[in-house]
Structure 1
């Protein structure tokens, strides 16, 4: 079986401050960009992408923050109808924390659980500095 390597048809890479404001901006950029790519603000696809970005960005600024370092949002649109979301932070630990049953009523900790439910697939990749948490969503 030959593995096909696909090239994105559109891409955004943006560094944002590792603050709650930066996480909100990541979500807004995603909504705007998906609308430009043909998935209106009020569509399910746009809402799902926003939730995934919000979860990954919140995780990056809450648990992946290194003082003085930004996080990076990368969105890649592939021709077969896949959106790949990548959020990179400067903290190298790859241990990602899911909310426990005891913590379910809390206000935090659901980001990765939400990502795992909404994404077709997701994972963590090492980088020279820090890590990238990525998720892929079906747009069709």
Structure 2
């Protein structure tokens, strides 16, 4: 369950007060350095305001404390592939997230998209197929099916 610090920041962020949430988290994160959920909220906020390097640092701090925090592996993959232009590194990080949650349809779908961008069709097909088999009723399934059909 998220800490009160993380919940407070999330509430501020969802009420369109991201700057206030960022100020709040920045002021308490040093004293609450082991609060992974608070760091995760801080990472989201930093990413939202375009502070990519600090978002990367927060994910790295989270993973030092908990290397099984799959969401941070996923976020690093997303950042490297989309903001830093390093799809190969993005794929590496997504594979780490999938090592923790191998059936996560969102992770599988994103991995398929990154493979598609990287023009590794076989791996993209495999990721989309796995996504489809793990998301029978989710909207993501339809898009994965569409992308898989384009790869045939």
The structure whose RCO (Cα within 8 Å, separation 6+) is larger is 1
Q: For this structure pair, what is the TM-score category when the shorter chain's length is used for normalisation?
A: under 0.3
TM-score by length of 2: 0.26
TM-score by length of 1: 0.27
Larger CA Rg, structure 1 vs 2 = 2
Q: Indicate the structure with greater helix content.
A: 2
Q: Indicate the structure with greater strand content.
A: 1
